[in-house]
Amino acid sequence: MPSRGSLPAGNLWIAKELFDLGGVQFGDFSLGRTTRHSPVYVNPRVLISRPSVLQRVARIMADDVKAKQLMARPECAEFQLVAGVPVGGLHLATALSLHAQVPMIYVRPDHPKNGTSRIEGLFQPGQRVLVVDDLMTTGGSLLETAQALEAAGLEVRNALVLVDRDQGGIERLKLHGYGVLRLLSLKVMLNFYMAEGLITEEQYRNSLDYIQTHRADAAAEQRPGDSRA
């Protein structure tokens, strides 16, 4: 990756890359099923425009997973496959698959109605899958993917996300028996941007207030068996 001066410590360099690539914006955004009038928008898919950064992110993901597996009480189970959540998680899952040399599969969002499998890629029932996504809000897309994989006879214990918007996704997935590993949280990113003078006090406060309010709303609505995003 080209040198552009000293990089922030830890995984905050990813936050800086996302910001520099225009993957973090401030305004009024309504996206998907769970983001309504959010003052902050995060689009990790911009990483595909900088292959060297995407490659480094894949290495960080692989190293983080390995470190969690080597703990006295492992936070991530061993797995034989990675599965990207369409569409945002596919580029990260592909990068991780290539770096770690682990086969990849994914659940077709437009699965056919002719009786063929929803799963693209080769697999054997009973294999364990690590689900990968680029952005998690309340965890609905991850949950739907995990449940579709399990319906095909696969086993899912963990998910890996690049950015967690801190809106209850980890807690929701835990209710369903899945552990979540995350590289960045939106709160940490906002703190970094504010400390670096990249955003205004108003942008910072509005974003934190939104996260806190919608986290509380998500916690009140979550129930075991709920599959909403």
Q: What is the CATH number of the domain that holds 116?
A: 3.40.50.2020
- Inform me whether the pLDDT recorded for 38 exceeds 60: yes
Q: What pLDDT, on the 0 to 100 scale, is given for residue 107?
A: 94
Mean pLDDT of 181-208: 97
- Inform me whether the pLDDT recorded for 131 exceeds 70: yes
Mean pLDDT of 162-178: 95
Residue 223 CB neighbours (<10 A): 9
Mean pLDDT of 201-225: 76
Confidence of residue 4 (pLDDT cuts 50, 70, 90): very low
Q: Could you say which DSSP state residue 44 is in?
A: G
Confidence of residue 13 (pLDDT cuts 50, 70, 90): very high
Mean pLDDT of 117-132: 94
- Inform me whether the pLDDT recorded for 116 exceeds 80: no
As for how many domains the chain has, the answer is 1
Mean pLDDT of 57-65: 96
Q: Which one has a higher pLDDT value, 113 or 211?
A: 211
| Closest to 15 in 3D by CA, of 166, 186, 133, 207 | 186
Q: What pLDDT, on the 0 to 100 scale, is given for residue 9?
A: 66
Report yes or no on 6 lying in a domain: no
Q: What pLDDT, on the 0 to 100 scale, is given for residue 72?
A: 81
Q: Which one has a higher pLDDT value, 112 or 175?
A: 175
Q: What pLDDT, on the 0 to 100 scale, is given for residue 227?
A: 44
Report yes or no on 148 lying in a domain: yes
DSSP codes of every residue in 92-148: HHHHHHHHHT--EEEE-TT--SSS--SEES---TT-EEEEEEEEESSSHHHHHHHHH
The three-state secondary structure class of 220 is helix
Q: Which domain holds residue 59?
A: 12-221
Report yes or no on 59 lying in a domain: yes
Please give the share of the chain, as a percent, with pLDDT higher than 90: 76
The model's pTM is 0.88
- Inform me whether the pLDDT recorded for 218 exceeds 80: no
How far apart are the C-alpha atoms of 170 and 43, rounded to whole Å?
A: 19
**Candidate from 30-39, 187-196, 202-211, 219-228 with smallest mean pLDDT:** 219-228
Report yes or no on 227 lying in a domain: no
Confidence of residue 221 (pLDDT cuts 50, 70, 90): low
Report yes or no on 25 lying in a domain: yes
| Closest to 86 in 3D by CA, of 22, 154, 141 | 141
Mean pLDDT of 96-109: 96
Average pLDDT score over the chain: 89
Q: What pLDDT, on the 0 to 100 scale, is given for residue 73?
A: 83
